[in-house]
């Protein structure tokens, strides 16, 4: 399989790009369309995309590093209520109805939305991981699928969870596991999982080289409770439990919004990653002073995510990137902070780096995850600065082609099975939200 992208704008210059199998193998103005050498006898194995006409620009795809994919089905359900009421009266009762069918189609809907908005990798934390993995594989996208661990400080629940996660891992069939699925250990949060279980899960992950994905310091009240209960802030506690030492660069803390200097230093010293979820934090009223510069300067790998559709309402990473950049400028009172180029790096390269995938950049030798934008879209007229226009003025409708791992998942905004996915998502949403 080869893809030749002809006459496309890259960093302000018109060039051509050759993709062979899953890798970008050539970039250059004078690159000629392969007629031999690449699939010499099978011309239909070569896809040609012409960037000419009104013009197309190429950019890396997004990595959404914190979401609960199948929660697409909760979009607009129980919005604008106080957090506890929303969880107790809306979300948790409906989640009792979850089954494989609901998760499969909810995740397919999430994958469809992500493909249409330029995301090719996401880090998921939800239930029925087998159904979610099937949905990811059937969509052609790639995901880190987290086994969500809860014990609610109940030893019996902890034992059952340990048994379940061991079974899940043993049943993955590692040799045959599609490379598009990366299994992850995902304890929900330090206030829903006991210290013993958090440590047990870190040992489990470390022994198997798995990543560790957890909600951290999302609200001020959870930090205050940690101080009251343990006499220390959540990250200080995680470090004391030895979890940051065990997981190091395989650790990723979602939200990580309410941090103090000591915690930022701990994260940097351990080469850990965090995920900023600006739209979710704003909508739930959790806060907005994300410590981006401090984290970056301490050596923390800062990534971006949307969170689930019950709190961010969409999975649009371009929108999240704009919110992130504006928030940094706004709360710091400094328009030079988080320029467009840096915002895109956080939203793309840093996420792929956490997953250990050489993508998030359009360079020869990189994995071929890239997207094309239509420069005839109003947001690019006039095109004084493509990257600025992309982050600050356009919308994801400007994304016309998405390639993941060398495979085109969207061309001319057409994605396979779109009508079927929408129909099935409407059907299972009724099942999920029945009282
Ligand atoms: Zn979340």
List the pLDDT tens digit at each of the 435 positions of the chain: 899 999 999 999 999 999 999 999 999 998 988 764 454 444 558 889 988 777 999 999 999 999 999 999 999 999 998 878 888 899 989 999 999 999 999 999 999 999 999 999 999 999 999 999 999 999 999 999 999 989 999 999 999 999 999 999 998 865 444 579 999 999 999 999 999 999 999 999 999 999 999 999 999 999 999 999 999 999 999 999 999 999 999 999 999 999 999 999 999 999 999 999 999 999 999 999 999 999 999 999 999 999 999 999 999 999 999 999 999 999 999 999 999 999 999 999 999 999 999 999 999 999 999 999 999 999 999 999 999 999 999 999 999 999 999 999 999 999 999 999 999 999 999 999 987
Helices then strands, each counted (H, E), the chain: 17, 16
Q: What is the number of alpha carbons within 13 Å of residue 39 lying toward its C-beta? A: 15
How far is the centre of ligand 1, averaged over its atoms, from the C-alpha of 66 (Å)? 6
Q: Helix axis angle, 340-347 relative to 317-332, nearest 10°?
A: 130
Please tell me whether the peptide bond between 317 and the residue prior to it is cis, using omega within 30 degrees of 0. no
How far is the centre of ligand 1, averaged over its atoms, from the C-alpha of 72 (Å)? 13
How far is the centre of ligand 1, averaged over its atoms, from the C-alpha of 309 (Å)? 10
Domain map (residue ranges) of the chain: 2-60+366-418, 62-355
Instruction: Report residues near ion ligand 1: CB below 5 Å.
Output: 307
CATH level 2 (architecture), domain 62-355: Alpha-Beta Barrel (3.20)
Give the pLDDT of residue 178: 59
Contacts of residue 329, Cβ cutoff 8 Å, sequence gap at least 6? 335, 337, 338
How far is the centre of ligand 1, averaged over its atoms, from the C-alpha of 360 (Å)? 23
How far is the centre of ligand 1, averaged over its atoms, from the C-alpha of 325 (Å)? 20
CATH level 2 (architecture), domain 2-60+366-418: Roll (2.30)
Q: How many C-beta atoms surround the C-beta of residue 340 within 10 A?
A: 18
Partnered with residue 363 across adjacent β-strands are: none
Reported for 421-430, long-range contacts at CB under 8 A and 24+ positions apart, including other chains, are 421/105, 421/108, 421/109, 421/112, 422/109, 422/112, 424/105, 424/108, 425/72, 425/73, 425/105, 425/106, 425/108, 425/109, 427/105, 428/73, 428/101, 428/102, 428/105, 428/106, 429/73, 429/106
The residue count of the chain comes to: 435
How far is the centre of ligand 1, averaged over its atoms, from the C-alpha of 35 (Å)? 48
How far is the centre of ligand 1, averaged over its atoms, from the C-alpha of 227 (Å)? 22
Phi, psi (deg, nearest 5) at residue 245: -65, -45
Partnered with residue 123 across adjacent β-strands are: 144
Phi, psi (deg, nearest 5) at residue 303: -120, 180
Phi, psi (deg, nearest 5) at residue 11: 50, 40
How far is the centre of ligand 1, averaged over its atoms, from the C-alpha of 214 (Å)? 9
SS3 of 4, please? strand
Quick one: CA dihedral 370, 372, 378, 383, positive or negative? Answer: positive
Q: Contact, 246 vs 203, CB < 8 A? A: yes
How far is the centre of ligand 1, averaged over its atoms, from the C-alpha of 255 (Å)? 8
Q: pTM for this one?
A: 0.96
- How far is 380 from 393, CA to CA, in rounded Å? 8
How far is the centre of ligand 1, averaged over its atoms, from the C-alpha of 146 (Å)? 12
């Amino acid at each position: 399989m080869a893809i030749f992208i002809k006459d496309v704008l890259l960093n302000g210059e018109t060039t051509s790009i050759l993709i062979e199998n899953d890798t970008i193998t050539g970039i250059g103005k004078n690159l000629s369309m392969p007629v031999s050498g690449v699939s010499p006898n099978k011309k239909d194995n070569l896809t040609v995309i012409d960037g000419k006409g009104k013009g197309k620009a190429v950019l890396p795809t997004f990595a959404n590093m914190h979401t609960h994919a199948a929660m697409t089905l909760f979009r607009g359900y129980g919005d604008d209520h106080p957090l506890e009421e929303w969880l107790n009266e809306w979300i948790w009762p409906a989640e009792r109805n979850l089954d494989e069918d609901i998760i499969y189609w909810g995740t397919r809907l999430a994958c469809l939305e992500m493909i249409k908005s330029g995301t090719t990798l996401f880090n998921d934390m939800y239930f029925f991981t087998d159904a979610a993995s099937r949905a990811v594989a059937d969509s052609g996208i790639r995901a880190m699928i987290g086994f969500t661990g809860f014990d609610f400080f109940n030893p019996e629940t902890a034992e059952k969870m340990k048994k379940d996660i061991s079974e899940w891992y043993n049943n993955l069939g590692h040799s045959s596991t599609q490379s598009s699925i990366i299994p992850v250990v995902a304890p929900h949060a330090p206030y829903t999982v006991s210290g013993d279980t958090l440590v047990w899960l870190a040992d489990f992950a470390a022994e198997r080289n798995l990543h560790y994905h957890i909600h951290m310091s999302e609200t001020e009240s959870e930090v205050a409770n940690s101080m009251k209960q343990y006499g220390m802030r959540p990250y200080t506690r995680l470090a004391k439990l030895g979890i940051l030492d065990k997981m190091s660069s395989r650790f990723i803390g979602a939200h990580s919004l309410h941090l103090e200097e000591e915690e930022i230093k701990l994260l940097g010293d351990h080469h850990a990653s965090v995920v900023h979820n600006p739209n979710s934090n704003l909508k739930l009223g959790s806060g907005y002073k994300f410590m981006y510069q401090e984290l970056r300067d301490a050596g923390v790998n800062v990534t971006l995510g949307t969170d689930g559709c019950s709190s961010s309402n969409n999975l649009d990473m371009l929108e999240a990137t704009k919110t992130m950049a504006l928030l940094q400028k706004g709360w710091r009172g400094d328009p030079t902070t988080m320029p467009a180029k840096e915002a895109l790096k956080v939203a793309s390269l840093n996420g792929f780096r956490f997953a250990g995938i050489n993508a998030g950049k359009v360079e020869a030798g990189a994995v071929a995850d890239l997207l094309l934008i239509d420069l005839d879209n109003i947001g690019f007229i006039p095109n004084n600065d493509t990257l600025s226009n992309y982050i600050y003025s356009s919308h994801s409708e400007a994304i016309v082609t998405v390639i993941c791992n060398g495979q085109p998942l969207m061309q001319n905004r057409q994605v396979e099975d779109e009508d079927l996915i929408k129909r099935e998502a409407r059907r299972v949403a009724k099942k999920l939200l029945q009282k």
